[in-house]
Amino acid sequence: MTAAEWTAVMLSLRVACVGALASLRFAVAVAYLLARFRFPGRTALDILVHLPLVLPPVVTGWLLLIAFGRQGPLGLFFERTFGLVFAFRWTGAALAAAVMGFPLTVRAIRLSLEAVDRRLEDAAATLGVGRVRIFLTVTLPLALPGVLAGLILGFAKAIGEFGATITFVANIPGETQTLSTAIYNTTQDPDATGATWRLTGVAIAIAVVALSLSEALAQRLGSRLR
């Protein structure tokens, strides 16, 4: 592989890791909210969470550009408050990856939380344990395989993200050119077939490893529940 190809691969791994990890705490909170509570607007929240799965990725990327661009309301806030710029930066690619992988992460965690026996939480409550401590010491450890599975699925989705990324942060070599956008570039060049195959092989290998880990964690969760 060439230096440019390795740069794209390493940037993709960086973007996917940052995006998946940054969104994890929010995914756990939203999944817990959906799994444990009934409240007005719950259906609307559920729909909002899953919108990136059904919207064209280009639409998601455009909305991110409107909101987090240099002149967008959130973009201005983060730049002035934290000095953080998203548009046409790798940080924007990580944000797009986080948004696109968020529904898969939430869904995996939510299913895991719903599978936890509520009687264990009730037993802890009868002993005077607070809700937060019950979550940290009872619920979360039991749901941990699902949390990890959700994290891996979000990471895998981030690795393959293309539409939202190229719309939001473009395709700048060394800055925002991820594995997917690099593959797209090579497919436009008839003389770059070898590079296309190399990068495609890397993408397939990462996806297979991530899905295998997710399946292993799901099986472990099933065994624990049984």
> Which range of residues forms the domain containing residue 123?
3-225
Q: What is the CATH number of the domain that holds 194?
A: 1.10.3720.10
pLDDT in tens, 91-127: 999 999 999 999 999 999 998 898 888 888 888 888 8
Domains identified in the chain, total number = 1
Residues in the chain, total: 226
- Separation CA 210–CA 18 (nearest Å): 16
> Is the pTM here over 0.75, yes or no?
yes
Average pLDDT estimate for 137-158: 88
Instruction: State the pLDDT at residue 73.
Output: 94
The burial of 175, by beta-carbon neighbours within 10 Å (0-12 exposed, 13-18 middle, 19 or more buried), is given as middle
